[in-house]
Amino acid sequence: MLQQRAARYRDVSKTEGAMNFDVLNGKIYKMIKDSGRSGLPKIVVVIPFYNEMHKLVRSIESLINQSMKPSLVILVDDCGNEPLLNSIPESLKQAGIECVTIRNPQNLGPGGSRQTGLSVCPSDTEFLIFLDSDDFLSNDFIRESVRMHQLRPDIIATYANTVNILNGQNRIDLTPDKYDNLVDGILNMRKWGTGALMWKYSQIRDLQWKSMRCVEDSHFELSAALINPNIEYVDAATLFIEQSFEEDRLIRRNRMVKEHEMAIRHQLYDILLHDYPFDTASSVRKKYLKRAVHHWIRYAEIGLTEYPGRIFQFIRKGRLKVALRMIAYTPLFFKQLRRLSKQA
């Protein structure tokens, strides 16, 4: 089914799903109503949470304050100790937003909890946001993201600014060029936060979030890129995150996942090398293959005899360009071997 959808996305009409447009000052603007849900797209927000009710309240308030409100919020309790505040679903209801709450049977982590939410999305969902419970959105986030989807019916997702409120830094500004392909994020350690993306539900509804404690975002985005890699930046929308790598919570988390992160990241780039079409004009221009092989080797934890075997696997699969690039990068692999031996 995913292969059929990947083949079909390129045939999407430039006017499919488009509403009425006005041309003002040489720019196209989407006309969206300020209030009421009649005629508006169905937008779902999935929020996994684990305790920290005060931060979840902040996320919910940002949804209530949206100039275009979501239709449904799915709250996924990942077996936390703090009970969900009754005021949260009540406040959403008062704002005209439907709310569904689900409690995982066991702690699944962020990826597994997002999958719980994705699996119960209504079939008529049009756009979907996976918002972390400690993040929140600018007031026009949904409106502007929907506007861009209407202007670009060929994309699978929009992405917005991602500002860390602890230092004021916009992570999107860390790269000089804005991305137009999900693979850009995968090869550049994804600058956007998870909640900065608004997904076209029809193209991701059959995907699976992996139940892992790190890199689960990139794995999901790679699965989406294999269907349709096209994305668009929305400069008028912002996701606000609260991220400090000095917090004890993150230090403990990083210790737990560090020993597995190399393998998980290597698996990510292995899937990319096996399945992504590197022969497109954009892929060639951006040197995706060269960069993907570089990352594959960087996170490889394999021995000297296994490397040629991996190359032959790509040859047998018909991925000759990948195999040739890996042969050319053999000196880099030897450098990686020496680095690993010093750490042992």
Percent of the chain that is helix, strand, coil (3-state, to 5) = 45, 15, 40
Alpha helices for the chain (secondary structure H): 2-9, 53-64, 87-94, 109-119, 141-151, 182-187, 201-204, 216-225, 248-275, 281-285, 288-298, 306-316, 320-328, 330-343
Q: Are 180 and 229 in contact (CB under 8 A)?
A: no
Q: Which two tokens stand for residue 274?
A: 């096996």
pLDDT in tens, 22-34: 332 333 333 333 3
Query: What's residue 21's pLDDT?
Result: 32
With the CA atoms of 299, 304, 306 and 312 taken in that order, what torsion angle do they form, in degrees rounded to the nearest 10? 100
Q: Count CB-CB contacts under 10 A for residue 275.
A: 13
Q: Quick: pLDDT tens for 158-216.
A: 999 999 999 999 999 988 888 999 999 999 888 999 999 999 999 999 999 998 878 99
Look up the pTM and report it.
0.85
> What's the Rg (C-alpha) of the chain?
21
Give yes or no for a contact between 110 and 125, defined as CB atoms under 8 angstroms apart.
no
Backbone angles phi, psi at 52, to 5 degrees: 50, 60
| Structure tokens belonging to residue 14 | 């430039």
* Torsion angles phi and psi, residue 130, rounded to 5: -100, 100
Residue appearing with tokens 């409100």? 69
Distance of CA 99 to the CA centre of its chain: 23
The pLDDT of residue 318 is: 96
Question: Which residues of the chain fall short of a pLDDT of 70?
Answer: 1-39, 245-259, 344
d(CA 267, CA 262): 9
Dump pLDDT digits (tens) for 237-253: 999 999 875 544 444 44
> Is residue 160 within 8 Å of residue 234, measured between CB atoms?
yes
Task: Take residue 265 and report the two structure tokens written for it.
Answer: 């990241």
The length of the chain in residues reads 344
